[in-house]
Structure 1
């Protein structure tokens, strides 16, 4: 028979702590070994109770969740930390994951999802709510993208004319090049700016300061 998952609950709101304790205590697959109101208390309880999973809130008075996660990981504790919070901003998600959290769930998660997540965390599996996963993947992909390649002078000239409303044919006539060459330059611009059409290219160029109102 599989032993129950030993769970420590960390949240500064007594009602939340009591609610989570009641939920998991009623399930024979879990043993709630303690509850803490902040990160400092959690560290003491982890040392004394050896939980398998710490269900950790983030924004708490005293020692916050991210600091506590970092301390736990740094101490070599085998406990897995599953963040359970209301907040899903980059400023909350990224530091928690970087500190060593195994997973990140929001407090509006259904009961069944939370139970599955705690079991998965106990197995060492990463668990992320869909909203958090999308945000995290979007941010983590960015550092691995190739460095931005600058637009050539000719590509800027073509894009400037497009921004002023010129068609490919009109741009070709103004620059004394063929229409096919204009299309080729635009394809290069799209690739460098990471866009798919003329309007998006112009918007991206203004956003990056490559084009300025009334300027080139």
Structure 2
């Protein structure tokens, strides 16, 4: 009987997926059974293949990873999802866990940590790289950061897409929402973070590392 861990890879860069595949399959006992380059394909392939572990990027074109995690967990409450992201910010990790992820690793993590994280998540255990563990510990020491933690996964996903210069209409299309609903989320995010304008929203997110200094928000 084959006891290999069946893995689905989700990343919008094919070369990154190929690197993950080679790294994991070299370890032995891990088989990559599906690959997806966007959120829509990830959800479809998850339902088709039912992998033991889904390795999910957060920042992808269209529907982002956090929203896909939430969607998959609604379809399969026992889904085991490991986020592998370039974002080393505690806010992203908290939102991923809130959406239903079991682990969070940064792409700067040592390669040998990925296979161990996959095995932990397959056993329904949590997996955190040292970088995220330290970031989460530091977040607990900053009271103001709790405002970002108060955002729901959907609010955070709308915020992420707006910070990625997506228009209200583009966000609505990607998340299957109306433009009015997106505008309501946009307003709710600003209210929770205590900012009144999109410029203030960008500065706030820069302060807490949610967006790089060069990113710009696309006003609604």
Would you say the 8 A contact 2:27–2:115 is kept in 1? no
Matched, 1:102 2:106: no
Following the alignment from structure 2 to structure 1, what is the Cα–Cα distance between the partners of residues 87 and 18?
A: 20
Partner SS for 2:120: helix
Following the alignment from structure 1 to structure 2, what is the Cα–Cα distance between the partners of residues 110 and 131?
A: 11
Would you say the 8 A contact 2:7–2:34 is kept in 1? yes
- What residue in structure 2 maps to residue 18 of structure 1? 18
- What residue in structure 1 maps to residue 45 of structure 2? 45
Following the alignment from structure 2 to structure 1, what is the Cα–Cα distance between the partners of residues 90 and 145?
A: 15
Deviates more, 1:31-40 or 1:73-82: 73-82
- What residue in structure 2 maps to residue 33 of structure 1? 33
Distance 1:22 1:122, change over 3 A: same
TM-score normalized by the length of structure 1: 0.61
Q: Highest relative contact order (Cα 8 Å, sep 6+), 1 or 2?
A: 2
1:157-177 CA-partner distances (Å, limit 9, x unpaired): xxxxxxxxxxxxxxxxxxxxx
Structure with max Cα Rg:
1
- What residue in structure 1 maps to residue 57 of structure 2? 57
Following the alignment from structure 1 to structure 2, what is the Cα–Cα distance between the partners of residues 108 and 11?
A: 15
Distance 1:2 1:134, change over 3 A: farther
Aligned ranges for residues 114-153 of structure 1 at < 5 Å?
114-139=114-139
Deviates more, 1:95-104 or 1:105-114: 105-114
- What residue in structure 1 maps to residue 89 of structure 2? 89
Following the alignment from structure 1 to structure 2, what is the Cα–Cα distance between the partners of residues 17 and 67?
A: 20
Following the alignment from structure 2 to structure 1, what is the Cα–Cα distance between the partners of residues 125 and 136?
A: 16
Would you say the 8 A contact 1:55–1:81 is kept in 2? yes
What are the ranges of 5 or more consecutive residues in structure 2 without an aligned counterpart? 147-220
Following the alignment from structure 1 to structure 2, what is the Cα–Cα distance between the partners of residues 88 and 35?
A: 24
Deviation >4 Å, runs of 4+: 140-144
Distance 1:53 1:126, change over 3 A: same
Cα RMSD, aligned residues only = 2.1
- What residue in structure 2 maps to residue 74 of structure 1? 74
Query: Alpha-carbon deviation of 1:48?
Result: 0.6
- What residue in structure 2 maps to residue 206 of structure 1? none
Following the alignment from structure 2 to structure 1, what is the Cα–Cα distance between the partners of residues 145 and 15?
A: 40
Q: How many correspondences in the alignment?
A: 144
Would you say the 8 A contact 1:103–1:126 is kept in 2? yes
Query: Alpha-carbon deviation of 1:25?
Result: 2.7
Following the alignment from structure 1 to structure 2, what is the Cα–Cα distance between the partners of residues 22 and 28?
A: 10
Would you say the 8 A contact 1:52–1:78 is kept in 2? no
